[in-house]
Structure 1
């Protein structure tokens, strides 16, 4: 073989090996599935959002605030449940105002987000807001577990965000 041909084969082989190694590093860091490190770093940012502390005066926080990263869908989340001690309409009116004052923009409103019998629940938020957080778009959902057949005496707030835009209400 000519030296030029050998040199070309070595360069192509080295380039291919580097590409395979880079792909392996990307896959192991969450590139193929689950949360990336960048998404995981967003969870504490969401957990510190002041809107999660806002609630109508006659409601009370229930349990501790939760946060983490959804490995199935690859987005960060944080939320808080509240005991429903006022009307649903009062809760919705409160968050329309509080979210707007905190810079959130109403994206959608659905007065009855319950899934049809036998169907998959995709979006159960009654109100969905969005706002820039940490250089990407965060989503804030106001939802009622009773819409899914769970405890009708609670409501929840949940913020979600991802670096690749996979988050939603």
Structure 2
């Protein structure tokens, strides 16, 4: 009888510790952080979207298309940079029309998306669109690296999406 009285609490404590350890391993291996398998599989879908191929006639693709999954924030992304060989206004007008024709809905527009001096860059997109893609909401950003003090000769398109809703422009 005494052995049973000691064995039950020991087994309960050991079982609880096993559950806590398994939860810790799960959390550290991506359960609470990083990309889900669904979002990792979403990245190639985003990279194949036709809007990333659309660009004003006088602009040229720059570098290879990039895609992947942002482990820090847990969302899939794909993007393309272009050499800016026309005015910013022409680029923005082009994407307002091209995105609308491709089913994207304008979510926001900013004439000066760069952060305030000494401030954090929260949303640097000049245009932000959204549309359903593969069972989630995708966000398309048109942005200019020059707004962040980088190359004033480029502009970029970036599509982000996540099955848990953590993506944004």
Corresponding residue of 2:79: 79
- TM norm structure 2: 0.88
Query: Equivalents in 1 of 2:18, 2:137: separation in Å?
Result: 34
Query: Equivalents in 1 of 2:133, 2:14: separation in Å?
Result: 41
Tell me if the contact between 1:112 and 1:126 (Cα under 8 Å) persists in the aligned partners.
Answer: yes
Query: What's the offset of the Cα at 1:107?
Result: 0.4
Query: Equivalents in 2 of 1:105, 1:11: separation in Å?
Result: 57
Query: Equivalents in 2 of 1:95, 1:7: separation in Å?
Result: 69
* Per-residue CA distance 1:72-115 (angstroms, 9 max, x = gap): 11111110000011111111011011111111110000011010
1:90 aligns with 2:97: no
* Per-residue CA distance 1:13-72 (angstroms, 9 max, x = gap): 687467446624642551221112221111111111110000011111001000111111
- Alpha-carbon distance change, 18 to 38 in structure 1, aligned in 2, over 3 angstroms: farther
The two structures, once aligned, show a CA RMSD in angstroms of 2.2
User: For structure 2, which runs of at least 5 residues remain unmatched after alignment?
Assistant: none
- TM norm structure 1: 0.88
Corresponding residue of 2:66: 66
Q: Counterparts of 1:126-145 in structure 2 under 5 Å? A: 126-145=126-145
Q: How many residues align?
A: 169
User: For structure 1, which runs of at least 5 residues remain unmatched after alignment?
Assistant: none
- Alpha-carbon distance change, 21 to 124 in structure 1, aligned in 2, over 3 angstroms: same
